């Protein structure tokens, strides 16, 4: 899934010599959690709104460079890794660098979340199955084999929880034969945590997606 069409370049990075007063004024007019900073045109990191508001406006960014966080993604980074980067850094703006490590723009969290909402995992009709097994005992190939041997159609799988030695997987499948598939998982030693019909699953997943968007849109 191509994210390049979501690249935005209407925000000029602050030079590291800029005053924090300028940064504070910018945040008052923006809804972003961070703004990018460069030194002589080279990206060096971001400064958060929280840090900027707590610091003396008479200082410049270079004087407080210890608060800069150098997170970014590359132009070729996959959309799922971009989404992960947003979550890891609790930000709603993600700087994007080219192969020469030069700043070329940024992604907004809402745009990347919109990509997720349009994946088959959320948009296709089906059911959700949550299973768990020992972390050293499960495998994606086995999970797929169980579903496909029962003529099930897989729309997506992700690891939704790891608790000590137990790994939990959330699976989106076509709604045909979900009861039989659940029984087969039990025969293979999986604990079936829950199953959801397609309407309930869609509502829950979209609600969680919106919650994540709201949580990170700080």
**pLDDT, tens digit, 9 for 90 and up, residues 13-55:** 999 999 999 999 999 999 999 999 999 989 999 999 999 999 9
Calculate mean pLDDT across residues 191-207.
Answer: 63
Cα separation, 212 vs 105, whole angstroms: 23
User: Which of 10-14, 98-102, 175-179, 194-198 shows the lowest per-residue confidence on average (mean pLDDT)?
Assistant: 194-198
DSSP H or E run through 97: strand 93-97
pLDDT at 205: 55
Instruction: Please state whether the predicted TM-score (pTM) of the whole model is above 0.85.
Output: no
Which residues, including other chains, have CB under 8 Å from residue 54's CB and lie 6 or more apart? none
Cα separation, 204 vs 192, whole angstroms: 18
Domain 4-116 has CATH 3.10.580.10: yes
**pLDDT, tens digit, 9 for 90 and up, residues 88-134:** 999 999 999 998 889 999 999 988 888 777 777 676 778 889 999 99
* All structural domains of the chain with their residue ranges: 4-116, 122-215
> CA-CA distances (angstroms) from residue 113 to 17, 116, 148, 190?
34, 5, 29, 31
Domain spanning 122-215, CATH class: alpha beta
Which residues, including other chains, have CB under 8 Å from residue 30's CB and lie 6 or more apart? 11
SS3 58: coil
């Amino acid at each position: 899934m191509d994210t390049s069409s979501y690249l935005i370049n209407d925000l000029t990075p602050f030079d590291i010599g800029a005053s924090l007063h300028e940064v504070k004024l910018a945040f008052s007019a923006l809804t972003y959690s961070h703004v990018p900073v460069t030194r002589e045109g080279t990206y060096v990191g971001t400064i958060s709104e929280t840090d900027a508001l707590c610091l003396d406006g008479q200082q410049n960014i270079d004087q407080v460079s210890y608060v800069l966080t150098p997170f970014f993604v590359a132009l070729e980074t996959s959309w799922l890794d971009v989404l992960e980067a947003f979550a890891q850094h609790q930000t709603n703006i993600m700087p994007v660098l080219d192969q020469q490590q030069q700043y070329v723009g940024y992604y907004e969290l809402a745009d990347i979340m919109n990509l997720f909402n349009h994946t088959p995992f959320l948009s296709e009709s089906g059911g959700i199955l949550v299973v768990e097994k020992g972390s050293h005992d499960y495998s994606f190939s086995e999970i797929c084999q169980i579903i496909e041997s029962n003529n099930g159609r897989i729309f997506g799988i992700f690891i939704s929880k790891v608790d000590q030695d137990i790994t939990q997987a959330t699976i989106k499948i076509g709604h045909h034969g979900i009861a039989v598939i659940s029984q087969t998982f039990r025969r293979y030693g999986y604990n079936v945590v829950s199953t959801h019909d397609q309407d309930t699953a869609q509502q829950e997943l979209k609600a969680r997606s919106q919650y994540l968007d709201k949580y990170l849109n700080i």
